[in-house]
């Protein structure tokens, strides 16, 4: 047989790894044919809506539902009393704590769920919410975690024993009724010794403010209990549908095979849709009670006030170095405000996530991290907003400490980073706080970035600008923001990573059809990342069928293999690896079929793009399409018919993407308005699967970083009122505020990942936040600024300038 | 609660008549009465633009228009812009330039962009950024959305020139 097309053309036809394949998802989304949870409409479906607490801390003395029930169209009003017999008035959180589903005697944050109204349509439900009478007795409100640890006011009475003693929490001893855990890594004594005897020490306190992932689609669910067949179907905004099924089974007592959880299209997640919310539970109960489907979709204010927040870390750092700038030790303490219930979404053994990646990209011989979790009268959460678990906090911490140390040393911060990078030859590198970094080439990336932006030229321009400002020639100062980050993603190895006891592996199942197309299902779920496009590319390269002939399905627990879902940039590192491994199983069987068809020994054929060829005789071959057909149409001795494979992949290690970012900013000191002149982002995510998708992820992550650094915040007043509960106050950047970004890359494959990929969706957020913040702070460094807290909104920037006497 | 009114709407060229409470929002009438689920609800306060439709020739946020106000109106949603066999040039360019990710803002964004290009067939990048500032996207950082719209504008202009 002769080929009519060249090998290069065959490679191109596969649309495999490395090409910017256009997305298959876009046809439905651009035509308005996506299917999101609020698009689901079932016969007889009812609508649920919450009565929420206006108070941040209060006893619930009574709830009167009579007037609400009397409204025509209202079917039920559920309170904690109705859920208690089912043992569903509280539910476990992902962090080993428990959380009220509906207020059980008291409320602990503004917006907390008090009662669940079920009615014929959403308008009647909303009317009925107004008619539920709740009698509250206000209690003292605590919004400051430091005051919380000193206060006599006990927030969680359920966390104190009857004799007044404080029982251990899920993460060990607690030292105050409002204390949740202490978590430590590294060696404190050795670190203190080094710091106490160091030539240079820089200390700084910084607050990483509370914010919110705020995906454009809010959270919601539709529950449908089929009482005839005993089957519960639950559609919802779930970043981890399989875990939701297991939790739903454990909570409800319905056997897991009788529960089907479906994540339909998801309108962005960014960590907001990892947790389990009272609305999900209430929609299930309501459907069980009423026997018809019940939909619950929160509005924007409910989303911002009650579903998972991010950050809220008070960080105290000490970093020591030699006079020449070689870092010798790092000490970090965090007071972590977890709100009313500890509902952080972290692997079970990591109550502060991977905060212990806070030594960053630097070779720091000794370090210590201590984190204290604290209850306050704020919403529960603590999710990873577009980052792996608490990695944004860790990277912000170290990248600010580096800048502060540079000030202390009177040294250029770019040079200080170079002096301290973990060197290429040190990988795999074991950091002082325990992680084994898989691969990296930091200096090369850094040099490339500094060269690309003409760093020396920028510093000269900045020096001139300072002179001009002092001479009264301009009112604009110039900042050069630097950041070099290392992420830790792809959670993770089952030996130390689990969520509610479920190991954090992931999975892929492939079926090749007789005519040479395929369906593959994975345990993850896309929320915009483009899995249907990119997973097919991995498989195309691995199994030699065009990506156009491979359908990817995720999110239906009745069909997809069990997996832990999509967050923490784990889809490519874990499920992507499972896809590659399953593909290789297909290929191994295909090799035997090919050898049989070609009448040679198995070892005499080899894989080549889209076929197996007889070694040394490429004109003798069987394409994967030929092989797929043969798998179904003939009896091959010693082989089962069919061509399918499944792989459950337990990653041997995390992956460690890294990058070098530079932001150039002008700031008008009289208005506090920053103007981003340039943003250069170099990312190394290992093997690149789809450059177009990677670039899109970077643009998006940087924009969310811009938001967090420059204004986005969930702010509370002293009464525990949420001050930023609508999009009027909660900053989401528009096209008008966002710059064009320049993207660049280096490629340092992960040595332990089957295709060398590391994950990329969250890197730009992790590296972007300190870069934007450093740009603002760097602009004021020549005028005496050392550190100011984010968010750097116009008012706060103006205040910084004012504090530095720049308006005098 | 029978204070329902008789509402007539022409949506994407098709006439509809139904009963609705005057307080019902246009977005819910479209989504739940007419099963036109392209426009989405993102905020209900006019900030995010996921619900953007064209009403009587103007871009509106259908989450803050009462169906009573829309009575008798001509409404175009993303479903009315192209068909599976003949996509609108914006739909093609959003795919070509990776102008979307999760897709939740996309129907509103494309509907707004279509109106923008009618209002200003030769927009600069600044015009586009200002013109879509009422539509929030949380995924893309806008760079590729702007690229998609500018590319669609040149294609539209090129095809107009070719026709002349």
Q: Does residue A207 or residue A808 have the better pLDDT?
A: A207
In a domain, A183, yes or no: no
**Cα–Cα dist B37/B52, whole Å:** 12
In a domain, A765, yes or no: yes
Three-class DSSP category at B15: strand
A570 among known catalytic residues? no
For residue A163, the tally of other CB atoms under 10 A from its CB is 5
Question: pLDDT band at residue A671, thresholds of 50, 70 and 90?
Answer: very high
**pLDDT tens digits for range A501-520:** 899 999 999 999 999 999 99
In a domain, A588, yes or no: yes
> CB contact, 8 Å: A727 with chain B?
yes
Q: Domain boundary residue among A257, A287, A306?
A: A306
Of A217, A219, A280, A213, whose CA–CA distance to A244 is shortest? Answer: A280
**pLDDT tens digits for range A70-114:** 999 999 999 999 999 999 999 999 999 999 999 999 999 999 999
Asked if B103 and A267 come within 8 Å (Cβ–Cβ), the reply is: yes
The catalytic residue among A239, A527, A529, A697 is A239
Q: Is the Cβ–Cβ distance between A481 and A679 less than 8 Å? A: no
Asked if A28 and B79 come within 8 Å (Cβ–Cβ), the reply is: no
> CB contact, 8 Å: A25 with chain B?
yes
Give the pLDDT score at A2. Answer: 56
Query: Which of B24, B98, B134, B144 has the most A C-beta neighbours within 10 Å, making it the best mutation to test the interface with A?
Result: B98
- Are A21 and A84 in the same domain? no
Domain containing A348 — which CATH number?
A: 3.30.365.10
Q: Which residues of A touch B130 (CB under 8 A)?
A: 735-736
Sign of CA dihedral A382, A383, A387, A389: positive
Domain containing A253 — which CATH number?
A: 3.90.1170.50
- Are A301 and A338 in the same domain? no
- What the block records as the tokens of B47 is 């900030």
ipTM field: 0.98
**Does the pLDDT of residue A135 top 60, yes or no?**
yes
**pLDDT tens digits for range B83-134:** 999 999 999 999 999 999 999 999 999 999 999 999 999 999 999 999 999 9
CA–chain centroid gap for A99, Å, is 22
Q: Domain boundary residue among A632, A649, A666?
A: A649
* Domains delineated in chain B: 5-80 (3.10.20.30), 89-159 (1.10.150.120)
Determine the average pLDDT of the residues in A460-488: 98
CA distance A699 to chain B (A): 5
Domain extent at residue A90 = 37-141+218-266+273-306
CB burial of B20-49 (b: ≥16 within 10 Å; e: otherwise) equals bbeebbbbbbbbbbbebbbbbbbbbebbbb
**Cα–Cα dist A468/A474, whole Å:** 6
Of A300, A297, A236, A334, whose CA–CA distance to A565 is shortest? Answer: A236
- What the block records as the tokens of A502 is 């479920």
**pLDDT tens digits for range A574-617:** 999 999 999 999 999 999 999 999 999 999 999 999 999 999 99
In a domain, A368, yes or no: yes
- Are A458 and A446 in the same domain? yes
Give the pLDDT score at B2. Answer: 64
**Cα–Cα dist A390/A310, whole Å:** 9
CA distance A686 to chain B (A): 22
**Cα–Cα dist A768/A482, whole Å:** 9
Residue A311: CA atoms inside 13 Å, Cβ hemisphere, count? 31
Nearest CA in chain A to B53: A32
- Are A393 and A313 in the same domain? yes
Give the pLDDT score at A251. Answer: 87
| End-to-end alpha carbon distance in chain A | 85
Of A39, A303, A270, A529, whose CA–CA distance to B40 is shortest? Answer: A39
CA distance B116 to chain A (A): 14
Asked if B103 and A72 come within 8 Å (Cβ–Cβ), the reply is: no
Q: Tell me which long-range contacts A580-583 makes (C-beta under 8 A, separation of at least 24).
A: A580/A538, A580/A542, A580/A754, A580/A755, A581/A508, A581/A647, A581/A649, A581/A754, A582/A508, A582/A509, A582/A510, A582/A520, A582/A645, A582/A646, A582/A647, A583/A510, A583/A538, A583/A539, A583/A542, A583/A543, A583/A645
| End-to-end alpha carbon distance in chain B | 57
Angle, helices A624-633/A577-598, rounded to nearest 10 degrees: 70
**Does the pLDDT of residue A149 top 80, yes or no?**
yes
Question: pLDDT band at residue A4, thresholds of 50, 70 and 90?
Answer: confident
**Cα–Cα dist A190/A651, whole Å:** 32
The minimal CB distance from A216 to the residues B77, B84, B105 is found for: B105
- Are A692 and A797 in the same domain? yes
> CB contact, 8 Å: A43 with chain B?
no
Question: pLDDT band at residue B36, thresholds of 50, 70 and 90?
Answer: very high
Asked if B77 and A32 come within 8 Å (Cβ–Cβ), the reply is: yes
> CB contact, 8 Å: A379 with chain B?
no
The catalytic residue among A311, A386, A417, A611 is A386
The catalytic residue among A393, A529, A762, A771 is A762
- Are A626 and A677 in the same domain? no
CA–chain centroid gap for A199, Å, is 39
Q: In percent, how much of chain A has pLDDT > 70?
A: 100
Give the pLDDT score at A3. Answer: 60
Of A582, A471, A478, A463, whose CA–CA distance to A521 is shortest? Answer: A582
The minimal CB distance from B48 to the residues A34, A36, A216 is found for: A216
The minimal CB distance from A696 to the residues B23, B47, B144 is found for: B144
**pLDDT tens digits for range A711-758:** 999 999 999 999 999 999 999 999 999 999 999 999 999 999 999 999
Q: In percent, how much of chain A has pLDDT > 90?
A: 98
Asked if B110 and A30 come within 8 Å (Cβ–Cβ), the reply is: yes
- Are A595 and A711 in the same domain? no
For residue A510, the tally of other CB atoms under 10 A from its CB is 24
Asked if B138 and A738 come within 8 Å (Cβ–Cβ), the reply is: no
Of A452, A426, A585, whose CA–CA distance to A507 is shortest? Answer: A585
Burial of B55 (0-12, 13-18, 19+ CB in 10 A): buried
A663 among known catalytic residues? no
Q: Which residues of B touch A692 (CB under 8 A)?
A: 98
Q: Is the Cβ–Cβ distance between A675 and A717 less than 8 Å? A: no
- Are A27 and A49 in the same domain? no
**pLDDT tens digits for range A202-240:** 999 999 999 999 999 999 999 999 999 999 999 999 999
Give the pLDDT score at A494. Answer: 95
In a domain, A581, yes or no: yes
Q: Domain boundary residue among A581, A616, A649?
A: A649
Average pLDDT for chain A: 97
Determine the average pLDDT of the residues in A314-335: 98
In a domain, A168, yes or no: no
For tokens 């970043």, the residue is A239
CA–chain centroid gap for B105, Å, is 10
**Cα–Cα dist A102/A112, whole Å:** 8
**Does the pLDDT of residue A707 top 70, yes or no?**
yes
- Are A462 and A362 in the same domain? yes
Q: Count structural domains, chain A.
A: 3
CB burial of B121-159 (b: ≥16 within 10 Å; e: otherwise) equals eebeeebbbebbbbbbbbbbbbbbbbbbbbbbbeebeee
A387 among known catalytic residues? yes
Give the pLDDT score at B112. Answer: 98
For residue A140, the tally of other CB atoms under 10 A from its CB is 11
Question: pLDDT band at residue B164, thresholds of 50, 70 and 90?
Answer: confident
The minimal CB distance from A738 to the residues B28, B106, B142 is found for: B142
Question: pLDDT band at residue B3, thresholds of 50, 70 and 90?
Answer: confident
- Are A524 and A612 in the same domain? yes
- DSSP secondary structure string for all residues of A466-515: HHHHHTTS-SEEEEEEEEEEE--BS---TTT-EETTEE--EEEEEEE-TT
In a domain, A242, yes or no: yes
Question: pLDDT band at residue A371, thresholds of 50, 70 and 90?
Answer: very high
- Are A736 and A645 in the same domain? no
A386 among known catalytic residues? yes
The catalytic residue among A387, A508, A685, A771 is A387
Of A792, A801, A785, whose CA–CA distance to A770 is shortest? Answer: A792
**Cα–Cα dist B34/A306, whole Å:** 31
Burial of A324 (0-12, 13-18, 19+ CB in 10 A): exposed
Cα–Cα separations (whole angstroms), residue A261 to A42, A310, A356: 16, 26, 34
In a domain, A199, yes or no: no
**pLDDT tens digits for range A405-456:** 999 999 999 999 999 999 999 999 999 999 999 999 999 999 999 999 999 9
Three-class DSSP category at B5: strand
Query: Which of B24, B28, B38, B42 has the most A C-beta neighbours within 10 Å, making it the best mutation to test the interface with A?
Result: B42
Full-prediction pTM beyond 0.95? yes
Of A138, A9, A132, whose CA–CA distance to A78 is shortest? Answer: A132
Residues listed for chain A = 808
**Does the pLDDT of residue A302 top 90, yes or no?**
yes
The minimal CB distance from B44 to the residues A123, A299, A699 is found for: A299
- Are A295 and A345 in the same domain? no
């Amino acid at each position: 047989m002769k080929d009519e097309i060249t090998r290069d053309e065959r490679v191109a036809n596969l649309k495999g790894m490395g090409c910017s394949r256009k997305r298959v998802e876009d046809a439905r989304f651009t035509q308005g044919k996506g299917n999101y949870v609020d698009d689901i409409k079932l016969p007889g479906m009812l609508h649920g809506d919450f009565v929420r607490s206006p108070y941040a801390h209060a006893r619930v003395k009574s709830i009167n539902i009579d007037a609400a029930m009397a409204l025509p169209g209202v079917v039920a009003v559920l309170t904690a009393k109705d859920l208690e017999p089912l043992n569903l008035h509280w539910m476990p959180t992902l962090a080993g704590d428990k959380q009220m589903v509906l207020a059980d005697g008291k409320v602990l944050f503004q917006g907390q769920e008090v009662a669940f109204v079920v009615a014929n349509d959403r308008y009647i439900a909303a009317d009925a919410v107004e008619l539920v009478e709740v009698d509250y007795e206000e209690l003292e409100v605590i919004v400051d975690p430091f005051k919380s640890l000193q206060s006599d006011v006990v927030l969680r009475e359920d966390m104190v024993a009857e004799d007044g003693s404080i029982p251990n929490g899920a993460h060990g001893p607690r030292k105050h009724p409002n204390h949740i855990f202490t978590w430590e890594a590294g060696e404190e004594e050795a670190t203190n010794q080094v710091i106490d005897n160091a030539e240079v020490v820089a200390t700084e306190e910084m607050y990483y403010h509370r914010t919110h992932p705020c995906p454009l689609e809010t959270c919601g669910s539709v529950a449908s209990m089929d009482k005839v067949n005993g089957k519960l179907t639950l559609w919802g905004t779930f970043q981890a549908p399989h875990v939701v099924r297991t939790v739903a089974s454990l909570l409800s007592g319905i056997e897991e095979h009788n529960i089907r959880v479906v994540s339909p299209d998801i309108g962005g997640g960014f960590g907001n849709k990892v947790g389990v919310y009272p609305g999900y539970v209430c929609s299930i109960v309501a459907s069980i009670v009423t026997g018809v489907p019940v939909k619950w979709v929160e509005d924007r204010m409910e989303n911002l006030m009650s579903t998972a927040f991010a950050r809220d870390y008070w960080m105290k750092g000490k970093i020591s170095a030699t006079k020449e700038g070689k870092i010798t030790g790092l000490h970090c303490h965090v007071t972590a405000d977890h709100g009313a219930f500890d509902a952080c979404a972290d692997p079970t053994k990591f109550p502060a996530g991977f905060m212990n990646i806070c030594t960053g990209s630097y070779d720091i011989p000794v370090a210590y991290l201590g984190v204290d979790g604290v209850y306050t009268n704020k919403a529960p959460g603590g999710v990873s907003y577009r980052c792996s678990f608490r990695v944004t906090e860790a990277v912000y911490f170290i990248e600010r400490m580096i800048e502060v140390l540079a000030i202390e040393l009177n040294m250029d911060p770019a040079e200080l980073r170079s002096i301290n990078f973990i060197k290429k030859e040190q990988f795999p590198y074991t950091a002082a706080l325990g992680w084994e970094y898989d691969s990296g080439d930091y200096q090369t990336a850094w040099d490339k970035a500094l060269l690309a932006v003409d760093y020396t030229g920028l510093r000269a321009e900045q020096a001139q600008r300072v002179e001009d400002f002092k001479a009264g020639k301009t009112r604009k100062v110039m900042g050069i923001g630097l950041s070099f980050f290392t992420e830790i993603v792809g959670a993770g190895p089952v030996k130390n990573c689990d969520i509610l006891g479920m190991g954090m592996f992931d999975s892929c199942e492939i079926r090749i059809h007789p005519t040479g197309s395929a369906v593959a299902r994975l345990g993850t779920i896309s929320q915009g990342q483009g899995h249907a496009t990119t997973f097919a590319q991995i498989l195309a390269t691995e199994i030699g069928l065009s990506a156009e002939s491979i359908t990817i399905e995720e999110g239906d627990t009745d069909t997809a293999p069990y997996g832990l879902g999509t967050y923490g940039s784990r889809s490519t590192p874990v499920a992507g690896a499972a896809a590659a491994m399953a593909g290789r199983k297909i290929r191994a069987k295909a090799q035997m079929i090919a050898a049989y068809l070609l009448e040679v020994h198995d070892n005499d054929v080899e894989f080549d793009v889209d076929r197996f060829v007889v070694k040394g005789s490429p004109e003798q071959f069987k394409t994967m399409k030929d092989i797929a057909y043969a798998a179904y149409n003939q009896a091959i001795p010693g082989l089962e018919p069919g061509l399918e494979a499944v792989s459950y992949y337990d990653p041997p290690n995390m992956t460690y993407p890294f990058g070098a970012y530079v932001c150039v900013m002008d700031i008008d000191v009289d208005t506090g308005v920053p103007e981003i002149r340039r943003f250069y982002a170099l990312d190394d995510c290992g093997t690149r699967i789809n450059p177009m998708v990677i670039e899109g992820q970077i643009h998006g992550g940087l924009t969310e970083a811009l938001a967090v650094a420059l204004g986005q915040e969930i702010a509370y007043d002293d009464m525990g009122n949420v001050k930023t509960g609508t999009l009027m106050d909660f900053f989401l950047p528009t096209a008008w505020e966002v710059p064009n970004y320049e993207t660049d890359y280096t490629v340092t494959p992960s040595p332990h990942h089957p295709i060398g990929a590391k994950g990329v969706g969250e890197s730009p957020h992790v590296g972007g936040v300190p870069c934007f913040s450093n740009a603002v702070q760097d602009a004021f460094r020549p005028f005496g600024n050392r550190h100011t807290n984010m968010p750097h909104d116009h008012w706060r920037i103006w205040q910084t300038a004012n504090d530095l006497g720049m308006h005098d | 609660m029978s204070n329902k009114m008789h509402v007539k709407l022409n949506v994407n060229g098709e006439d509809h008549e139904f009963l609705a409470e005057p307080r019902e929002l246009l977005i819910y009438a479209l989504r739940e009465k007419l099963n036109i689920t392209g426009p989405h609800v993102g905020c209900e306060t006019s900030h995010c633009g996921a619900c953007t439709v064209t009403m009587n020739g103007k871009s509106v946020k259908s989450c803050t228009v009462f169906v009573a106000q829309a009575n008798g109106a001509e409404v175009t949603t993303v479903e009315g812009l192209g068909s599976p066999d003949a996509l609108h040039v914006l739909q093609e360019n959003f795919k070509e330039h990776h102008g979307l990710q999760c897709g939740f803002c996309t129907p509103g964004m494309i509907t707004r962009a279509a109106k923008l290009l009618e209002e200003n067939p030769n927009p600069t990048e600044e015009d586009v950024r200002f013109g879509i500032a009422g539509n929030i996207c949380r995924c893309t950082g806008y760079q590729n959305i702007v690229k998609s719209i500018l590319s669609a504008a040149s294609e539209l202009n090129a095809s107009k020139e070719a026709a002349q």
